[in-house]
Amino acid sequence: MLTVKQISEHINGTIVGDENLAISGVGRLENGKTGSISFLSQAKYIKFFENSNASAVIVSKNFDQDSYGKTLIKVENPSLGFAQTLELFDTRKTETVGIHPTANIAKNAKLGDNLRISQFAVIEDSAEIGDNSSIGAGSFIGNNTTIGKNTTIHPNVTIYDQSIIGDNVTIDSGTVIGADGFGWVTDKGKHNKIPQIGRVVIHNNVWIGANCCIDRGTFQNTTIGEHTKLDNLIQIAHNVQIGKSCLLAALVGIAGSTTIGDFVTLAGQVGVVGHISIGDRCVVASKSAVMKSIEPGSFISGIPARNHLARRKQDVVTFQLPELLKRVRELETKLKLLEKG
């Protein structure tokens, strides 16, 4: 149980109403209960605000409408404020500091302070783990791999040799970092393996979801820029360069040696061919196939991906084709009758 004052202090808000109001949980405006706190981030949800049973609501600092008896916490960004509030109500168990006796740690591994290394984790020769980091049960950290400070590796993650993981990184279960890229030379009907001797470099504050695969480079590194966030089930091929603060939704696949700029958004199931570049601040709509390089600031969609606005105009014409065909055939019939006449 928290008070509105405690929550407001945590999210740097300004209270309008009862600062001593007790809050027992969180919820959406639509299904908020007495004693809960919710948030209002967009004007289109104001219709739920009046009748919501939530006792407190996080709103924009510019909110000037009737509170309908609710206590308000005004902040710069209500969505961010609510996310920070959720931190206070997160009751999931955290691992205690220490090394479980079943963990298999090489004698020459370098371990920082305040680590949490769980059951059956494996840390191989010359690996380095920074202070306050966590290695989940059954995870594997390969030779000469470096993991920074305050980084969380969840259970059953595999990080191959010589990978570099920064500070404040989170990697969810099932993800594989540093497996060989898909590189082959075909000669006389035989596919010959190209050694993959590069690394994977993941910069600070990156989040990688569950069951992702990020391949090591052939001879240059595969890199993920700082503050970039990856959803689940994403494939990043060898030599791919991803910039900072990008957002990649589930089932994105990026082929080898492609460069992604900063602040790029790739929606769900986007496919990107190899050896192209996507400029800064591009947005690629879901299920699109990016077949060529894209200029910075573009919004593209479709297969193959093209300018979204132009594609919408093309779609309008496409939907009209059956009617246009019908009219053409009618005109052809009339023309033939005139010719016979």
Active site residues: 238
Query: Token match 């030599």: residue?
Result: 239
d(CA 162, CA 323) in angstroms, rounded, equals: 61
Q: Which helix (H) or strand (E) holds 192?
A: strand 190-193
What does the angle CA 44 – CA 49 – CA 51 come to, to the nearest 5 degrees?
Answer: 130
Q: Nearest 5°: phi and psi at 184?
A: -145, 145
CA distance 319 to 312: 11
Rounded to the nearest 10°, the torsion over CA 254, 255, 257, 258 is: -40
Cβ within 8 Å of residue 147, ≥6 positions away: 127, 128, 129, 130, 133, 135, 141, 153, 159, 165, 169
Query: What backbone phi and psi angles, to 5 degrees, belong to 310?
Result: -65, -40
Residue 325 CB-half CA count within 13 A: 6
262 in Cβ contact with 245 (< 8 Å): yes
What whole-number distance in Å separates Cα of residue 248 and Cα of residue 213?
A: 13
